[in-house]
Amino acid sequence: MSIAATLSTERFEGHPLPPTCRRKSAYADVSATAGYGDKISTFDKAKCADLSGSFFRGHGQDDADARKGIKMARSPATAKKSETFVALLRGINVGGKNMLPMKDLARMFEKAGCSDVKNYIQSGNIVFKAEAKIAENISDIIVKEIDRRFEIHVPVVVRTAKELHAVAKSNPFLKMGVDENRLHVIFLKDRPNAKQAQLLDPNRSPGDSFVVSGGEIFLSITSAATTKLNNAYRDSKLATVSTGRN
């Protein structure tokens, strides 16, 4: 279930993935009620230019030159670092609820100072580039703008491309040989501390299990529709918001 670099539009829920893609399934959006929405498409490694981790880098001044008081020219285009991020929105355009045009959503990111903004599928996945200062606040900015324009509350969780790759590689259930169809990853907006993580009851949903790791919760569940490890439970216990992909 490794996350490659970008979200393609070639596979949807109900269509089995070929063997070569079994470890490239993206994570399906979690609905706001009791589970999950439609699966988004697979991450296509052949189309991962957008999340390749190739970043713009500024050119700093050499220490020796700095001591000599030599000023080095800096190109405006490379003076500030820009990194690739993915914004994961929860529960939009699923089952006719929380309808939000993707073009409008992309423009919100552009207006906030992001560049190379692309949306993938209708269930809320935006890839963009931004400076760290902008990315730190983009989640709150987009949540407020969606609420202002469409009068719906949509949680937004942001991760870097590198973080998504790391999550895919570190899924503990894959190492245990668990069926990939059972696996989901919950992305938390805020990282819980150890005391908060202990508030999640491992016996709450018989047949289901989870592992809290950093800002993610790895799930192995029988059914997304019936699991009791849902949004309302997780968010209330951890005092945050989250969204999931499978």
Q: What is the pLDDT of residue 137?
A: 95
Bridge partners of 158, per DSSP, are 87
Number of Cβ within a 10 Å radius of residue 176: 10
Beta strands in the chain (DSSP E): 30-31, 35-36, 83-89, 115-119, 125-130, 156-160, 183-188, 209-213, 216-220, 242-245
Q: How many domains does the chain have?
A: 1
Q: What is the mean pLDDT of residues 44-58?
A: 35
pTM of whole model > 0.75? no
* Cα–Cα dist 202/129, whole Å: 38
> Is residue 54, in this structure, part of any structural domain at all?
no
* Cα–Cα dist 5/28, whole Å: 16
Q: What is the pLDDT of residue 123?
A: 74
Q: What is the mean pLDDT of residues 171-182?
A: 95
> Is residue 206, in this structure, part of any structural domain at all?
yes
> Is residue 62, in this structure, part of any structural domain at all?
no
Tell me: pLDDT of 106 over 80.
yes
Tell me: pLDDT of 184 over 90.
yes
Half-sphere exposure of 17 (CA within 13 A, CB side): 23
**Is residue 216 a contact partner of residue 239, using CB atoms and an 8 Å limit?**
no
> Is residue 114, in this structure, part of any structural domain at all?
yes
> Is residue 64, in this structure, part of any structural domain at all?
no
Number of Cβ within a 10 Å radius of residue 170: 15
Pairing relation of β-strands 183-188 and 242-245? Answer: antiparallel
* Cα–Cα dist 146/18, whole Å: 37
Is the model more confident about 118 or about 73? 118
> Is residue 222, in this structure, part of any structural domain at all?
yes
Q: What is the pLDDT of residue 92?
A: 86
Look up residue 199 and give its DSSP letter. T
Residue 102 belongs to domain with CATH number: 3.30.70.1280
pLDDT band at residue 4 using 50, 70 and 90 as cut-offs: very low
Tell me: pLDDT of 204 over 80.
yes
Is the model more confident about 168 or about 56? 168
> Is residue 239, in this structure, part of any structural domain at all?
yes
Hey, CA dihedral for 243, 37, 2, 7, is it positive or negative? Answer: negative
Q: Which domain holds residue 125?
A: 19-49+80-245
> Is residue 2, in this structure, part of any structural domain at all?
no
